[in-house]
Structure 1
Amino acid sequence: MRVLLAAPSATARLHTLVPLAWALRCAGHDVKIAGRPEFVEEILRTGCVAVELESGDAALTESAKLVEFARLWRPDAVISNAPAGIAAARAVDAKAVRVLGPTDEPDTTVDHTLDVVPPSLRDSPGQPLRHVPYFGPTEVPAWLRRKARRARILLSLNDPSWYAPFFSAVSNVDAEVVCAAGVPDGLELPRNVKLVDAAPPAAVLPTCAAVVHDGDEALALAAVAYGLPQLSLADSAFGTRVAAAGAGLSGAAEGVSRLTEETLRSGANALRAEVAASPAPRAIVAALAR
């Protein structure tokens, strides 16, 4: 098959498509990923062939150039988490396949809907697709080559205003808290916080007992795949669903002291089992080819 993937200019959305793109290539199919010019370098970092789209907005809600390339290349399927992908598929009578991430809602206008979110976290799930966490090229840092003496919690914050209340809440928790550089000047680090130059999730998450973030839904979904209880300091729709499933908490930093509770571990393990039971990308590829 010839398969065209259309990626909006959002790294997390591109990363959702990458495991399926790799599975297609490994099965012998011809795969190209289309995106806006400023996003081409990010596409190339995945190891796939990039198609530069000179027109269309960053979200690829529309793109005349995507349709133009589809008419030239004639793909058998267009896989996307962007609306322009559906238009491109319809223009060449190809199958329109949509991949849903944590923030997406089902679309009845496509031929197939693949969903990386576990069915229990979605009101109207599509065809389950096992989520394989991908964060781009990663090098295991030197500090991670030593075994942690205590349970490890990954702290990943985009909003620096959360550091102060979190450090206050975590100072008496029996755990090693790892966070990358970016802590505001003047804040005193608790003794159980380990400040590192880099904490790539792909390398760190398998060594963790829990995750704390401020609404990062890509990290939240990865934590689900690894079976890790999580605390979302900021309100998010996905974080609320994880909490409702008994696999995490949403709200105040003081919740970090509860992340080792057995009920949360059980809820997180149940979601991990749900992810593991979903068809792997290679199985989905075989079904699409048929």
Structure 2
Amino acid sequence: MRVLFATIPEKSHLYCMTPLVWAVRAAGHEVRVASTSQFTQAIAGMGMPAVAVGSNDEITAGMSANRDSQGWESLDWNELDPAKLTYESELERSQLFAFGCAMYNEPMVGGLVDFARAWEPDLVVWDPLTYAGPIAAGVVGAAHVRALCFTDVWVLKRQLFRKLYEQAPADTRRDPLGDYLTGRTADFGGAFSEESITGQLTLDPLPDCLGVATDAVRAPIRFVPHNGTGALPDWVNVRPDRPRVLVSLGASNHERYGGDYVSKTELLSTVAELDVEVVAALLPGQADELGTLPSNVRVVRSVPLNAVLPHCSAVINHGGFGSWATALVYGVPQLVVTTRLAEQLLRAQRVEAQGAGLALETDQTSPEQVRDGIARLVEEPSFRENAARLREEAVSRPAPSRVVPLLERHAQERRAAPWRMPSA
């Protein structure tokens, strides 16, 4: 069969999808991976044919111009208690979300539809924010599947918002995301349904204790780390003489928002006060910003996290899904120092609740608190034991290769008539 993967131009989203792309190709199916023209090099770097569907050079400029947006309440998706939510606050959140989705998807949707018409995929697998995916699938009658790369707060929040919407006075009811997708679906001859948001099927990589329950039809899949490429130094395969602490700040804050949200030199120096070996796995640009560091800090540039983590006793990360989930599947206790953007704090708190790590908010945390947190993770055996338990839950989910037969059946069973524009 022909399988079209579609993703917004974000490396963390692409990397989460990469092992499934490889698995589908290894099973003998034809594969294409589509995103904007600025992202084709990243796709080609994972060894797959890249399809450019539109151009979008405004995303990075918008994010870097609004560095403080990671603290905006409307971008905070961590609160899921219905008793604490109001229609007004969720409407504001939905409005900004719909705007962001349009910013990502508008440059892609026309090109993705054109390519789908030309290539005629049997299945479209889409990143959870790539709403152009189900539109392209509908235009050609293909089945479609949503592949998660975070806790599914987007669908749960949607369900909670719809309940608040039904309870609100009729003259105040607005559904920004639904309205946007209804309009864009109609533009191509389709009728909007909630499957445009949930997918016909959702592939969920999270253990049940870390995920959220929604009405979406879902199937489990194992998260297989893909953290990019890079030459591995010899020392990564040698067990260290003292606890090794990995520090990873991800790529998105540095590349998209114009800088990290912590003082790297101060954080590394303070953690190095412990009797540990500190490994700072950074982008070249991040490493270039460092000052003088203690002798027990090793700075490495562009080394995949999955290569370093096996011999680590703890990891400090910024809450990005790739770093967080890679630590999860290697059973390494993690100290997450994050903003409230999206559901990053929620994931950190879920790991903390399971006794496998600690959660801190960036703007309320000192380097000394980070140091003391790492001391706990290294010295208290319960953190390692609980992280090992979560690892077993995570890796017990079906590997991407075992999910391919499910996708094959889904593509056959959910094939539909292509959308048709109404006659004039």
Instruction: Identify if the C-alpha distance between structure 1 residues 121 and 227 changes in structure 2 by more than 3 Å, giving closer, same or farther.
Output: same
Q: Which amino acid aligns with 2:358?
A: L
Query: Among 109, 112, 118, which residue is 1:66 paired with?
Result: 112
Question: 1:161 — aligned with what?
Answer: 263
The structure 2 residue matched to 1:121, chosen from 197, 210, 223, is 210
CA deviation after TM superposition for structure 1 residue 152, in Å: 1.3
Tell whether 2:354 aligns with 1:245.
Answer: yes
Shift of 1:192: 3.0
> Is 1:87 aligned to residue 135 of structure 2?
yes
Give the counterpart of 2:305 among 171, 194, 201: 201
Q: Does 1:100 align with 2:148?
A: yes
> Structure 1 pair 185/16, CA: closer, same or farther in 2 (3 Å)?
closer
Residue in 1 that maps onto 2:20: 20
Which residue is equivalent to 1:280? 399
Contact 1:101 1:117 in 2 (8 A): no
In 1, the alpha carbon distance for the partners of 2:38 and 2:351 equals: 33
Cα deviation for residue 288 of structure 1 reads 1.4
2:276 alignment counterpart: 175
Where does structure 1 lack aligned partners over 5 or more consecutive residues?
none
The equivalent of 1:259 in structure 2 is: 377
1:106 CA drift (Å): 5.8
TM-score by length of 2: 0.63
Aligned pair 1:75/2:121, yes or no?
Answer: yes
* Residues 179, 9 of structure 1: alpha-carbon distance in 2 compared, 3 angstrom cutoff: same
Partner of 1:215: 319
Rounded to whole Å, the distance in 1 between the matches of 2:126 and 2:14 is 9
When residues 37 and 262 of structure 1 are mapped into structure 2, their CA distance, relative to the original with a 3 A threshold, is same
Do the aligned partners of 1:215 and 1:233 also contact (CA within 8 Å) in 2? yes
Aligned residues of 1:180 and 1:196 also touching (Cα < 8 A): yes
SS in 2 for 1:215: coil
**Distance in 2 between residues matched to 1:31 and 1:177, nearest whole Å:** 40
TM-score between the two structures when normalised by the length of structure 1? 0.91
Decide whether the 8 Å contact of 2:123 with 2:142 is kept in 1. Answer: yes
Percent identity over the alignment is 38
Which amino acid counterpart does residue 46 of structure 2 have in structure 1? T
- SS at 1:4 equivalent: strand
Shift of 1:116: 1.6
Conservation of the 8 A alpha-carbon contact between 1:130 and 1:276? yes
8 Å CA contact 1:8–1:58 kept in 2: the answer is no
Alpha-carbon contact 1:170-1:256 (below 8 Å) kept = no
Mean CA deviation greater in 2-11 or 65-74:
65-74
Q: Which has the higher strand share?
A: 1
RMSD over aligned Cα atoms: 2.2
Deviation at 1:137, TM superposition (A): 2.1
CA drift of 1:265 comes to 1.3
Whether the 8 Å CA contact 1:106–1:113 is kept in 2: the answer is: no
Any idea what SS the aligned residue of 2:355 has?
A: coil
- Between 261-270 and 138-147, the greater mean CA deviation after superposition: 138-147
Question: Which letter does structure 1 place at the counterpart of 2:351?
Answer: V
**Structure 2: any 5+ residue segments left out of the alignment?**
57-101, 156-193, 250-259, 340-344, 361-368, 410-424
Compare the two structures and name the one with the higher helix fraction. 2
Report the equivalent of 1:228.
332
Partner Cα distance (2:386, 2:42) in 1:
35
Per mean C-alpha deviation after superposition, the further-off stretch among 105-114 and 226-235 is 105-114
SS in 1 for 2:51: strand
Range with greater deviation from structure 2 (34-43 or 213-222): 213-222
SS at match of 1:171: coil
d(CA) in 1 for partners of 2:288, 2:261: 10
Q: 1:225 to 1:180 in 2, by over 3 A?
A: closer
Between the aligned partners of 2:306 and 2:229, the Cα distance in structure 1 is: 9
Distance 1:36 1:169 in 2: 40
Aligned to 2:43: 43
Distance 1:200 1:58, change over 3 A: farther
The residue aligned with 1:271 is 390
**Residues in 2 aligned to 1:228 and 1:12: alpha-carbon distance in whole angstroms:** 20
How far off its partner does 1:162 sit?
A: 4.7
Is contact 1:119–1:128 with CA below 8 Å preserved after alignment? no
The one-character-per-residue Cα deviations of 1:52-107 (angstroms, maximum 9, x if unpaired) are: 11257773365111011111111111001111111111111111100111254465
String of CA shifts for 1:220-276, please: whole Å, max 9, x gaps.
Answer: 111001111000122423212221222110123121101122221122112111111
Q: Which is greater in Rg?
A: 2
Q: Deviations over 1:112-158 (max 9, x none)?
A: 10012222111126311100000122321244354421221111234
For 1:16 and 1:197, how far apart are their aligned partners in 2?
21
